[in-house]
Structure formats: structure tokens, C-alpha cells
Amino acid sequence: MKVNIRKAREKFSEIINTVAVKGERIILTSKNIPKAAIVSLRDIETLEDKDIKKARRLFHLEQMRKIREKLAQKSVTSDSTSTLRKIRSERIEKLSNSH
């Protein structure tokens, strides 16, 4: 939902309740140009979780890059694709058996 900033000031409590209870996202506009958003705490937590997961993935990718560099210096090559497939397959099997 888009709401003009002036109207949002007038209906601030109503808007906050709409966001908190219904989880609706409010886009605040000025002269019909989006300026800011009001979102629920749940949305913020979800975004933060995604950021944390992304940071972890990037960290692990960087670790893998460093390992590959070390292996390359020792003239060792590896087919990481098949290794990753094997690890994923084992992990999926393990998760399937645990349920």
C-alpha cells in the first residue's frame, strides 16, 4: 500500500497497527515518489536472516577459493562439482533417514 507522508502522520497509529497485525508493507511517498517503507518486525527478521545466510555462504566460498589456490600451488586438481554432488547426496540421504 502506498501512503502519502502527510496522511501517514495523521494516521500513524492506524498504519502501525496495519503493519504489525496484518503484516502489510507501507510505502511512504512524497509527491508520488517513494521515499521510505514501514515493514513489520517479522519482515526485518527475515531480511536479517537472509543477510546472515548470505554472509555465511560468501565466507565459505572464500574459504573454498583459498583451499583451491593452495591445491593449485601444489599442482593438485580437483573436480569440486562431483565432490559437492556427493556431499549433497549424502546429506539428503542422511536427512531423509532421520525423519
* DSSP classification of residue 11: T
Instruction: Report the CATH number of the 2-39 domain.
Output: 3.40.1620
Task: Give tens-digit pLDDT for 40-86.
Answer: 999 999 988 888 989 999 999 999 888 888 877 877 666 677 788 88
Asked if residue 2 lies in contact with residue 34, where contact means CB atoms within 8 angstroms, the answer is yes
Listed by start position, the domains of the chain span 2-39, 43-98
pLDDT at 84: 82
Give the sheet arrangement for strand 33-38, strand by strand: 2-4, 26-30, 33-38
Task: Give tens-digit pLDDT for 13-24.
Answer: 999 999 999 999
| 22 backbone dihedrals φ, ψ, rounded to 5° | -90, -15
pTM above 0.75, yes or no: no
| Adjacent-strand bridge partners of 5 | none
